[in-house]
């Protein structure tokens, strides 16, 4: 990795730098709050590297969840990542061994950058993508370690800091709500989970909710795809064919 590639990639990653330092610090803080120090924060951020996944991980460690529960919950919370790869198949082609790291480091923010930026003309695109992924990972590790150290030194009452996870999801939902033309999937997701919470209770609510959501979306596929096509042709101003 040479200087030119890094100095081309750095400006692109500055928003992620700010975000990861802050959100990573909140993670380190929470982890410290349940009795795990900076070494654990470093290790988790190095090997897992997932914002909302690690927030949830704090919850799972604190409640001494079983490995099965941990696997299912991690799968659920990271399910959206399945979608990210689909749109980057072309971009990662021909990256050799580095591709394994590119897949590993595909967080929401890295995905957002990689799917939108173009490499400068004098920089090899694959080096550029790799540099972006590495820098973001570094910010995340740095933020979480700083947060864990600060949590050990500063006498701050952390009660309520777990709301950061709710707030993160709220922000994602607001972004989705304004960019999606159809709000039915989001509404279905909320309604089925509420029903599951009421019927099954808080401990085992997610799996029944997820099954109901997937079934409902499959059942409504014709309807939703028609609406999608309709919105698409309206945008383009062309008659439907």
Partner 1 sequence: MLSTTETLAAIAVMAVVTFLTRALPFLLFDRKGNPPRLVLYLGRVLPPAIIAMLIVYCLKDSLLALELHPLQGYETWLPALISITVAIILHLWKRNTLLSIFGSTILYMFLVQAVFVV
Region 116-145 residues binding partner 1, contact defined as CB under 8 A: none
For partner 1, the binding residue among 27, 40, 129, 139 (CB under 8 A) is 40
| DSSP symbols for 164-221 | HHHHHHHHHHHHHHHH-S--HHHHHHHHHHHHHHHHH-STT-HHHHHHHHHHHHHHTH
Query: Environment class of residue 241 by beta-carbon count within 10 Å: exposed (0-12), middle (13-18) or buried (19+)?
Result: exposed
Tell whether residue 192 is a contact of partner 1 (CB under 8 A): yes
Total of chain residues touching partner 1, rule CB under 8 A: 94
For partner 1, the binding residue among 10, 183, 215, 229 (CB under 8 A) is 183
Tell whether residue 67 is a contact of partner 1 (CB under 8 A): yes
Angle of helix 51-62 versus helix 163-179 axis, rounded to 10:
150
Closer by beta carbon to partner 1, 1 or else 75: 75
For partner 1, the binding residue among 2, 11, 83, 239 (CB under 8 A) is 83
Spatial contact of 191 and 145, defined as CB atoms under 8 Å apart:
no
Tell whether residue 190 is a contact of partner 1 (CB under 8 A): yes
Tell whether residue 79 is a contact of partner 1 (CB under 8 A): yes
Helix (H, G, I), strand (E, B) or coil at 116: helix
Tell whether residue 44 is a contact of partner 1 (CB under 8 A): yes
Stretch that binds partner 1, among 121-129, 132-140, 141-149, 165-173 (CB under 8 A): 165-173
Task: Please name the helix (run of DSSP H) or strand (run of DSSP E) that holds residue 58, with its range, or none.
Answer: helix 51-62
Give the count of alpha carbons within 13 A of 58, CB side only.
27
Return d(Cα 150, Cα 191) in angstroms, integer.
Answer: 39
Tell whether residue 236 is a contact of partner 1 (CB under 8 A): no
For partner 1, the binding residue among 27, 84, 130, 140 (CB under 8 A) is 84
Tell whether residue 42 is a contact of partner 1 (CB under 8 A): no
Closer by beta carbon to partner 1, 11 or else 160: 160
In the stretch 89-108, what mask flags binding to partner 1 with x, by CB under 8 A? Answer: x--xx-----xx--xx-x--
For partner 1, the binding residue among 38, 77, 131, 142 (CB under 8 A) is 77
Q: Pick from 186, 168, 184, 165: which is nearest to 176 by CA?
A: 186
């Amino acid at each position: 990795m040479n200087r030119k590639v890094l100095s081309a990639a750095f400006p692109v990653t500055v928003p992620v730098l700010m975000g990861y330092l802050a959100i990573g610090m909140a993670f380190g803080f929470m982890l410290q709050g349940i009795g795990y120090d900076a070494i654990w924060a470093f290790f988790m951020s190095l090997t897992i590297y997932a914002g909302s996944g690690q927030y949830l991980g704090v919850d799972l460690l604190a409640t001494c969840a079983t490995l099965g529960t941990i696997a299912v919950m991690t799968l659920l919370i990271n399910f959206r990542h399945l979608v990210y790869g689909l749109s980057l198949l072309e971009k990662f082609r021909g990256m050799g061994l580095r591709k394994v790291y590119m897949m590993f480091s595909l967080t929401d923010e890295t995905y957002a950058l990689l799917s939108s930026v173009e490499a400068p003309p004098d920089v090899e695109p694959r080096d550029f993508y790799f540099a972006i992924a590495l820098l973001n990972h570094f910010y995340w590790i740095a933020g979480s370690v700083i947060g864990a150290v600060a949590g050990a030194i500063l006498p701050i009452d952390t009660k309520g800091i777990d709301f950061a996870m709710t707030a993160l999801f709220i922000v994602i939902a607001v972004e989705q709500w304004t960019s999606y033309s159809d709000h039915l999937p989001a509404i279905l997701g909320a309604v089925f989970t509420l029903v599951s919470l009421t019927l099954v209770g808080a401990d085992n609510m997610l799996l029944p909710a997820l099954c109901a959501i997937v079934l409902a979306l499959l059942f409504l596929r014709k309807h939703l795809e028609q609406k999608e096509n309709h919105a698409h042709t309206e945008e383009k101003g062309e008659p439907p064919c």
